[in-house]
Amino acid sequence: MTSSDLHDFWEIGVKRTREAPCSKALTPSRLPGLDLTLNPYRGCAHGCIYCYAPSLLHLSAKEWSDPLPKRGFIRLLERELPHIKGVIGVGTSTDPYQPMEADLCLTRRALELISKNGLRFCIHTKSDLVTRDIDLIGPNEVGVTVTSLDEVVSRVIEPGAPPPSRRLDALLLLNDAGIHTFVMVGPALSCIEGREEELVGAIAATGTEVLMVDTLRLRPNTGSELADAGVRAAGQATMRRLKLFAKEMGLDYRTAF
């Protein structure tokens, strides 16, 4: 059942889930290689302490960490798709495969519609749930964020996200299925200092050929949370080592954004 389907049952007494207002399913993108963005949910259950999306969208961290499906999202998308062209970025401000997606399937339904309309898309996620939709992804692209191999650190900085081992396993499955993937080390944090070769090696072992690295963009309140967790932006030496090891292991190293 999708978010919009819930409205159909409202008059017969089925309790409706809380939803976020939504006036458009697709919005123009300023990100390289993407023409439009698609985010089926407002907010994100992953709770990443470095996330800059809440401040960009003028929400508190508490509001952002209580995600909601967008009202009428699939109906809006059905109306908008026949009139657009270009590549759609799926999950540019929030993860399209956060836990509620397992039940609501808004992202899966959106991919079905995008494919039906003959359009290309690029997914970005931290979740291994993306492997559920391998049958729909086909020639399109999937990016998976891996900020650390240390699962203890990951639980602190990304408390609601699947652990890094599951993300790497998902990359293996995606690559085995012939899907083009990339890994985003973003933001690059001090927790990977001294472990650059191990991190790049683990990424290369999945069959992924593209490594993208992004710097930390501090927003209000994120700096103090990172400091409390004992984490800071990675130094330039770490960036150089990531690039060096990527080259040695045959990965295409790119600077994000």
| pLDDT tens-digit map of 217-252 | 877 667 788 888 899 999 999 999 999 999 999 999
Q: Is residue 235 part of a domain?
A: yes
Q: Is 18 in the same domain as 116?
A: yes
Neighbour-count burial of 188, counting CB atoms closer than 10 A to its CB (0-12 exposed, 13-18 middle, 19+ buried): buried
Angle at 157 between CA 235 and CA 65, to 5 degrees: 130
Q: What is the pLDDT of residue 224?
A: 80
Domain count, the chain: 2
Q: Is 97 in the same domain as 210?
A: no
Question: Residue 9 above 80 pLDDT?
Answer: no
34/244 Cα distance (integer angstroms): 28
88/99 Cα distance (integer angstroms): 22
More confidently predicted of 10 and 190: 190
Question: Residue 63 above 70 pLDDT?
Answer: yes
24/84 Cα distance (integer angstroms): 13
Q: What is the pLDDT of residue 221?
A: 63
Q: Is 89 in the same domain as 202?
A: no
Q: Is residue 172 part of a domain?
A: no
Q: Is 15 in the same domain as 115?
A: yes
Q: Is 151 in the same domain as 118?
A: no
Determine how β-strand 41-42 pairs with β-strand 68-69: antiparallel
133/131 Cα distance (integer angstroms): 5
**pTM, 2 dp:** 0.92
Q: What separation, in Å, do the N-terminal and C-terminal C-alpha atoms of the chain show?
A: 35
180/99 Cα distance (integer angstroms): 24
Q: Is 159 in the same domain as 75?
A: no
pLDDT digits (tens, 9 = 90+) for 159-190: 999 999 999 999 999 999 999 999 999 999 99
Rounded (10°) CA dihedral 107, 111, 114, 116: -140
Range scoring the smallest mean pLDDT among 12-21, 87-96, 132-141, 183-192? 12-21
90/141 Cα distance (integer angstroms): 10
Q: Is residue 202 part of a domain?
A: yes
Q: What is the pLDDT of residue 226?
A: 87
Q: Is residue 207 part of a domain?
A: yes
Q: Is 2 in the same domain as 121?
A: yes
Q: Hey, what are 195's tokens?
A: 């472990």
Q: Is residue 28 part of a domain?
A: yes
Q: Is residue 111 part of a domain?
A: yes
Q: Is 33 in the same domain as 121?
A: yes
**pLDDT level of residue 17 (50, 70, 90 thresholds):** low
Q: Is 100 in the same domain as 18?
A: yes
Range scoring the smallest mean pLDDT among 16-25, 64-73, 185-194, 227-236? 16-25
Q: Is residue 221 part of a domain?
A: yes
Q: Is 88 in the same domain as 151?
A: no
Place of tokens 């081992």: 165
133/110 Cα distance (integer angstroms): 11
219/119 Cα distance (integer angstroms): 34
Q: Is residue 231 part of a domain?
A: yes
Q: Is 152 in the same domain as 99?
A: no
Residue from 181, 206, 171, 192 nearest 240 by CA:
192
Percent of the chain with pLDDT over 90: 83
Identify the domain containing residue 192 by its residue range: 147-165+179-252
Q: Is 99 in the same domain as 153?
A: no
